[in-house]
């Protein structure tokens, strides 16, 4: 098969790494890719959000299968356009991608079909949003309705912070059009976890659970990011909890989407709060998590391409995934200043030395290569990923590898996996 992966992050590097191992993969392209992906795939200079150019490339180059990494092209209907040309693609239609494209749509679906989630209100005027805040208790959560690259969620400890969050999103347009509407939710107490399933419109196959670390700094301090590290499996989701999540959240969602005339195909990523009342849905994403995808791909024994194709073809009931027994963990190295302003172009050394260690895989996110040298070209830049017998061993190995990377322009958290280790 000729395969095109869309995207340029660590998620896409790990997907390319896993797909390249499949005997079904004859030729692998990635658009736009990065310096790490260039070692295993042919990188194509087309931006991930340039849907029409990607569809044209796939058609002109007789691509058999397209794997879409990021959410924006999915929400913009890339899968619909590819399928109209009889090109198979992994990911939801634009109608189904509304699960991530509009938090309001997702919350209304949960309300209509009794899927456990936080109480909420949705508002298109700042005044009505603030009235809702006035009537409700704090802490409270304010969210931009649309896509905000994982950064449109503000947890507010008091009413003044919540009013300021509404102004930041709706009046100052911090997230552009994504903030034309806001969702305001009750604050849920518990432990966060990520749960991934492959879906083919009717059947679902669960992947391993994972736990992300959203905050920029150690101890979960600082601003929210796209994710500073993750590990799998997450001890908070045991077999009993996984069954509850499937029965109470995932299966009802798949049935609801089919019922709404928006059958869901692709990977469904549930961001969950594990509360004293059981699992509650925080949000859905319609693509693999980044950085959770990196440890998931390392942990998977089965051929990922078989599973992705089965999702697109509606034959997931024939797929049974096998996993390594080991824990896998990723530490994200980011450019200093991220998730705020940062400077691109700082040189990075020592990546090969880190990647040559046993049980270590270094996935690239924002990197570029010039004259044999590696430079930072984004906020999150590297994902140092490890496989070991337990979380403590995986963490220790990851930080040994991180120490080999010479990058004064970067930073990373030093406590990835702390919740599991504290258990």
CATH architecture observed for domain 2-93: 3-Layer(aba) Sandwich (3.40)
Instruction: Return the pLDDT at 224.
Output: 85
Whole-model pTM: value is 0.94
The pLDDT tens digits of the residues spanning 336-388 come to 999 999 999 999 999 999 999 999 999 999 999 999 999 999 999 999 999 99
Domains 2-93 and 327-422 share a fold: no
Query: What's phi and psi for 169, nearest 5 deg?
Result: -80, -45
Measure CA 252 to chain center: 22
Q: How far is residue 142's CA from residue 393's CA, in Å, rounded to a whole number?
A: 37
**Which tens digits make up the pLDDT trace of 141-198?**
999 999 887 678 899 999 999 999 999 999 999 999 999 999 999 999 999 899 999 9
Domain residues of the chain, as ranges? Answer: 2-93, 125-180, 191-318, 327-422
What is the model's pLDDT at position 3? Answer: 98
Tokens at 176, concatenated: 């552009």
Q: Cis check for the bond before 103: say yes or no (omega within 30 of 0).
A: no
- Residue 149 has a pLDDT of 73
CATH topology of domain 327-422: 3.90.600
Residues of the chain with pLDDT under 50: none
> pLDDT at position 84, please?
98
Its CATH class, for the domain covering 125-180, is: alpha beta
Phi, psi of 43 (to 5 degrees): -80, 135
**Is the CB of residue 305 less than 8 Å from the CB of residue 80?**
no
pLDDT of the residue at 148: 83
pLDDT for the residue 167: 96
How would you write the chain as a 3-class SS string?
CEEEEEECCHHHHHHHHHHHCCCCCCEEEEEECCCCHHHCCEECCCCCCCHHHHHHHHHHCCCCEEEECCHHHHHCCHHHHHHHCCCEEECCCHHHHHHHHCHHHHHHHHHHCCCCECCEEEECCHHHHHHHHHHCCCCEEEEECCCCCCCCEEEECCHHHHHHHHHHHHHCCCCHHHHCCEEEEECCCCEEEEEEEEEECCCEEECCCEEECCEEEHHHEEEECCCCEEEECCCCCCHHHHHHHHHHHHHHHHHHHHHCCCCCEEEEEEEEEEECCEEEEEEEECCCCCCCHHHHHHHECCCHHHHHHHHHHCCHHHCCCCECCCEEEEEEEEECCCCCCCCCCCEEECHHHHHCCCCEEEEECCEEEECCEEEECCCEEEEEEEEECCHHHHHHHHHHHHHHCECCCEECCCCCCHHHHHC
Can you identify the CATH homologous superfamily of domain 191-318? ATP-grasp fold, B domain (3.30.470.20)
């Amino acid at each position: 098969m000729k395969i095109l992966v869309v995207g340029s992050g660590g998620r896409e590097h790990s997907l390319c790494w896993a797909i390249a191992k499949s005997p079904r993969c004859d030729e692998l392209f990635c658009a736009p890719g990065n310096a790490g992906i260039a070692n295993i795939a042919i990188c194509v200079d087309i931006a991930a959000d340039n849907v029409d150019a990607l569809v044209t490339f796939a058609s002109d180059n007789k691509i058999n299968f397209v794997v879409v990494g990021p959410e924006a092209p999915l929400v913009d209907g890339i899968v619909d356009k590819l399928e109209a040309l009889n090109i198979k693609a992994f990911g939801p239609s634009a109608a189904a991608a509304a699960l991530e494209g509009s938090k309001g749509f997702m919350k209304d679906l949960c309300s209509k079909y009794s899927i456990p989630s936080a109480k909420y209100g949705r508002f298109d005027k700042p005044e009505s949003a603030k009235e809702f805040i006035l009537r409700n208790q704090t802490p409270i959560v304010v969210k931009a309705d649309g896509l905000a690259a994982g950064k449109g969620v503000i947890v507010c400890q008091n009413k003044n912070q919540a009013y300021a969050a509404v102004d930041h999103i709706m009046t100052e347009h911090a997230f552009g059009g994504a903030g034309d509407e806001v969702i305001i939710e009750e604050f849920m107490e518990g432990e966060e976890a990520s749960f991934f399933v492959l879906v083919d419109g009717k059947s679902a196959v669960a992947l391993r659970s994972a736990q992300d670390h959203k905050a920029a700094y150690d101890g979960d301090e600082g601003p929210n990011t796209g994710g500073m590290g993750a590990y799998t499996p997450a001890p908070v989701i045991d077999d009993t909890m996984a069954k509850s999540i499937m029965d109470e959240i995932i299966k009802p969602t798949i049935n609801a989407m089919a019922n709404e005339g928006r059958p869901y195909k692709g990977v469904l990523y549930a961001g969950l709060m594990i509360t004293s009342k059981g699992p509650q849905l925080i949000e859905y994403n319609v693509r693999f998590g980044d950085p959770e995808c990196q440890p998931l791909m390392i942990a998977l024994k089965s051929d990922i391409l078989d599973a992705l194709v089965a999702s697109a073809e509606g034959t997931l009931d024939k797929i049974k995934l096998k996993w390594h027994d080991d824990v896998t963990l990723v530490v994200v190295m980011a450019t200093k200043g991220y998730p705020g302003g940062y400077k691109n172009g700082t040189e990075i050394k020592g990546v090969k030395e880190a990647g040559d260690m046993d049980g270590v895989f270094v996935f690239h996110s924002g990197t570029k290569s010039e004259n044999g040298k590696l430079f930072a070209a984004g906020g999150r830049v590297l994902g140092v990923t490890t496989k070991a017998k337990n979380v403590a061993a995986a963490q220790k190995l990851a930080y040994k590898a991180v120490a080999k990377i010479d990058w004064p322009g970067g930073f990373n958290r030093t406590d990835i996996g702390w919740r599991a280790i504290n258990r």
